[in-house]
Structure formats: structure tokens, C-alpha cells
Amino acid sequence: MPQLFLASSIDNTINLLSDLAKIEPKTAKVIFVADAADPYLEQGEDISWVEDDKKAFLENGYNLLETDLENLEVTLSDLKSSSQTTPIILHFCGGHTLYLLNKIRKYNLVATIQNLVLTDQVIYTASSAGCMIVAPDLSVKKDLNDEPDTWVKYLSNFTNYTGLDLVDVLIVPHFNNLAYSKYHQEYVANSSFTTPLLFLSDNQAVWVENGKFRIVKK
């Protein structure tokens, strides 16, 4: 019974997770992955959303275990071997969507993540970019005019726009945020992109359980 909690900004909706997933936060372990923020950090930009996600989990009583994609499999193995009953949440922060997808592919983690979610070994949670990568296709992103020249190096070898294919829609976050409205309009105007779009405001999330979608909000 795969479970996914996909939010624009999980700090706004995290209080809904425990009831939906039927878990007690203090008994759960959150594997916290923030690689998507790396390009922003390297460019000297603010990445306060990562701290917001951390704070949200901690203030709601979850146990946090930070790791990165390079060490994800080792972290998962160690955690599963230490306890067979602890609910495991795999959380991906927001940031650069295609960079995150490319890095997952770099470490050959696509099949690993798919297996973890589809066999109910983890509850998949995410903010923003972490939500977008679970779509079957992200090719709509290649036509967006949101890549400054200084960012080209992060996608120099990017050719595969296939997502993790855990849901059959593309989650489009931050629908109520005017800073993203230009990109939202470009998504809608791209007639060649056939994957359904699901727009979420910052106070909404999608709960996916056994293939069924439910939009929830705080």
C-alpha cells in the first residue's frame, strides 16, 4: 500500500501527516535528503526552506536523520538493520528539480527509490522539487526560461526527463505564489506536454495511498 505525502511546502502541512499515515511521530525515523538545494547553496543563495522542513519535522516530534544521495543506500540499510518495526519516512526537500533528478540517476537510485515506495518500505514525503520528480515525465521543464547561464554546469549532461513514475501526474507546487506564475503559465501553454498537471498552493498537499489521490490542506 504505497504512501506518498506531496506538499508545496511541507512545513505548512506536516501536522496532517501522522493521521493520514496512521503513525506516531516519535516512533518514526525521517531520512532527510536536501541535495536539491545544493546549486542554490553553491550560488550563495538563501536555502531557508531546508531549515523550514527540518524545523517542521522536529517540532512535530519526528526523529530526523540527515543524509545525502551518495550515502542514501547505506543510511537505509543501517536503519532497517537496527529496527524492523520503526516507520521510515524518506523526505526530499525542494530546490532544483532537474538537478535532483539527475543526481538520483547519477547514483543509480531510481529503481531503489521506486522499490522502497512501491513495496511500502518507506513513506515518501517531499516539498516542491521532491514532489515534481515523482511524475512520469518532466520534459515540460526543458522549455522553461528559468536557467541562468551560471547554472548550466548543473545540467551539462542532462538528457533524460523521465521521472520516478510513482504517480501519473506532474505536481506543480507554489500555485498561489506570484513569483512562480510565469512558469505556471508556461506549463499550461505547452501543448506538447501530455502528462496531467496538478497545481498545489503552499498550504496544500496530496496524500497518495494505494494509487488514490486526496488533496488536503491545513
Of 42, 44, 93, whose CA–CA distance to 69 is shortest?
93
Of 209, 77, 104, 211, whose CA–CA distance to 164 is shortest?
104
Of 215, 211, 200, 208, whose CA–CA distance to 94 is shortest?
200
Residue 34 has pLDDT above 60, yes or no: yes
Of 143, 153, 162, 141, whose CA–CA distance to 39 is shortest?
153
215: CB partners within 8 A, 6+ apart: 200, 204, 205, 206, 207
Residue 184 has pLDDT above 90, yes or no: no
Residue 49 three-state SS = helix
What secondary structure letter does DSSP report for 152? Answer: G
Q: Which domain holds residue 72?
A: 3-217
**pLDDT digits 0-9 by tens, 127-158:** 999 999 999 998 887 765 555 566 677 776 77
Please give the helix or strand (H or E) that residue 4 lies within, else none: strand 3-7
Residue 201 has pLDDT above 80, yes or no: yes
Q: How many domains, in total, are found in the chain?
A: 1
Residue 164 C-alpha from the chain's centroid: 11
Residue 189 C-alpha from the chain's centroid: 24
**pLDDT digits 0-9 by tens, 85-111:** 789 999 999 999 999 999 999 999 999
Q: Percent of the chain beyond pLDDT 90?
A: 69
CA distance 156 to 53: 29
Residue 205 has pLDDT above 80, yes or no: yes
Q: What is the pLDDT of residue 148?
A: 58
CA distance 216 to 13: 8
150: CB partners within 8 A, 6+ apart: 43
**pLDDT digits 0-9 by tens, 17-31:** 999 999 999 999 999
Q: What is the pLDDT of residue 147?
A: 57
Q: What is the pLDDT of residue 181?
A: 79
**In this structure, what CATH number is given to the domain that contains residue 203?**
3.40.50.880
SS3 content of the chain, % helix, strand, coil (to 5): 45, 20, 35
